Amino acid sequence: MLIRVAILLLTILLTAVDVGLAQSEPAPQTPHVADKAQPPAAQTATGNFETARKLMQEGKYDEALTQLQALAAQNPKLTGLSHEMGAAYYKKGDYLKATGYLKQALEENPKDNEAVQLLGLSYYLSGRPNEAIPLLEKVQTWYPFANVDAAYILGVSYIQVKNYPQARTAFARMFDVPADSAASYLFTARMLLRQEFDPIAEEYAQKAVAIDPKLPLAHFLLGELYLYKSRIPEAITEFEKEKTINPAHAPTYYKLADAYSRIQKFDDAERLLQRSIWLDATSTGPYILMGKVLEKKGEFDLAVRALQRAVTMDPNNSITHHLLGQAYRDLGRNADAERELKSAEQLQERDSSKQ
């Protein structure tokens, strides 16, 4: 679950990087813009670069590369060609090939700032954080406040090479907080947990609490970590502390209810889930857990109502359909049970085929 969330979040951030290259970065130093003084051959090459870029904007990466490869066949030493080839392979997702062309682009023009950033990202995305870090650090010196995405990727690269203090500095810069603050430790703990560096995440979350015991969401993060590790008493303690500090935070009630349900304190869990739903009726998680808790208590009609609400909110969740099928079966509504269980099976098969 954590891995899938991390992948999703990282995909969104990297998409933002591509957009940022077009919107916020200074123009690269390679000569991409046609000049009236250029000889006819250079003007033709520049025009073909523009054609390739347009194809890339349309997502036609292979066609763009074919266009650029044709130019390379005509003139392998064409100025700016390595940059364009590297950018095309980066956008296609072929980061190994992108690194070769981008390195060549920087040999041709060390001031090509866009190539520096793309090369750093390509190293990171091809699993070479050590090589990515120096390049991404350069990006941070150029754009200390504008490039949040580069700060995130730099921080994750530091995590991967186990340089946690530098990761904390990168995330502090990303969120514009002091590097030694409680918030900095909390942000880094969250990132560490997403990267599944659980022991260090726990250490950093505890450090955040030590600096500021009333920092919102610090106890919540510790509770999540302990719940994930099935350390239920510790999870309950942390969620209770968070509830005291942050009494309007709906997810705290939900997670605390989850902890109580695991030790079969179903009445406490139901009470907390109701509060979570009162605070936020848009999340399906509390309704699903409410259905499970009510089913355990033998209140099958109420369980069906909670799960029906969850299905209405998210009809593509196979778990909800499966639980609803079980609740219908408990009520003796076999036809409804078979329908829901079949839906759950179909959704599971569909999800498996996408992986």
Position 31 confidence tier, pLDDT thresholds 50, 70, 90:
very low
Helices 318-330, 334-354: axis angle to 10 degrees equals 160
- Token reading at 150: 């580069």
As a whole-number percent, the residues of the chain with pLDDT over 90 amount to 69
What is the DSSP code string of 129-151?
HHHHHHHHHHHHHH-TTT-HHHH
Average pLDDT, the chain: 86
Position 57 confidence tier, pLDDT thresholds 50, 70, 90:
confident
Mean pLDDT in residue range 242-259: 98
C-alpha span between 71 and 77 (Å, rounded): 10
Please tell me the predicted confidence (pLDDT) of residue 141: 75
Position 41 confidence tier, pLDDT thresholds 50, 70, 90:
very low
Residue entry with tokens 């409804």? 336
Query: pLDDT per residue over 102-161, tens digit each?
Result: 999 999 999 998 999 899 999 999 999 999 999 998 887 776 554 567 788 899 999 999
Question: Is it the case that residue 23 has pLDDT exceeding 90?
Answer: no
CA 212 centroid distance within chain: 27
What is the DSSP code string of 325-340?
HHHHHHTT-HHHHHHH
Instruction: Check: CB of residue 323 under 8 Å from CB of residue 288.
Output: yes
Q: 271 vs 48, which has greater pLDDT?
A: 271
Please tell me the predicted confidence (pLDDT) of residue 144: 56
Question: Is it the case that residue 11 has pLDDT exceeding 50?
Answer: no
Please tell me the predicted confidence (pLDDT) of residue 166: 95
Question: Is it the case that residue 19 has pLDDT exceeding 70?
Answer: no
Residue entry with tokens 């904390």? 168
Query: pLDDT per residue over 259-307, tens digit each?
Result: 999 999 999 999 999 999 999 999 999 999 999 999 999 999 999 999 9
C-alpha span between 233 and 264 (Å, rounded): 13
For the purposes of burial, counting CB atoms within 10 Å of the CB of 111, is it exposed (0-12), middle (13-18) or buried (19 or more)?
Answer: exposed
- CA torsion angle 189 186 168 136 (round to 10): 80
